[in-house]
Amino acid sequence: MQDSQTKSSKAADTVAALKGIPTREELLELLQKEVAVVTFKKLNGDERTMPCTLIENFLPPAKKDDPMSQKKIRAISDKVCPVWAIESQGFRSFRYDRVTNVEVIDKADYKVRFGEFWKESS
């Protein structure tokens, strides 16, 4: 007999496959190595496209007065994906269940797509 965690994991895998996106865990792993444009529906129904990453070199140092900069705080919810938003240069989050598309940005395109930010962070 399967436990509820195994059933939940299989359901998440199925939903991700149907949507054509990585699972939440795969997405977070991907963002630790790559920059991706994630498209999702905001809670108000608007669609948002956000270039983001979790590559350590892009992230600011953790600060006590900024909880989102601390890994332990960012890992609290299993429904939310905390990421570094490249264009706004700050931590942002989105609900994984609202993700509609994930596009990995080719490293050769970083400079073209992110201009000044890339110069400062590379």
Q: Residue 17: what pLDDT? A: 83
Supply the CATH classification number for the domain 4-121. 2.30.30.520
User: What are the tens digits of pLDDT across the range 64-110?
Assistant: 665 554 555 555 667 889 999 998 888 899 999 999 999 999 877 77
49-74 burial, b at 16+ Cβ within 10 Å, e below that, comes to ebbbbbeeebbeeeeeeeebbeeeeb
The CA distance from 99 to 115, in Å, is 26
CA distance 73 to 69: 8
Cα 22 from Cα 100, distance rounded (Å): 10
- Which range is most confident: 3-7, 45-49, 84-88? 45-49
CA–CA separation, 29 vs 4, rounded Å?
A: 24
pTM more than 0.85: no
Helix, strand or coil, per DSSP, at residue 32: coil
Give the pLDDT confidence of 113-122 residue by residue, as tens digits.
666 555 544 4
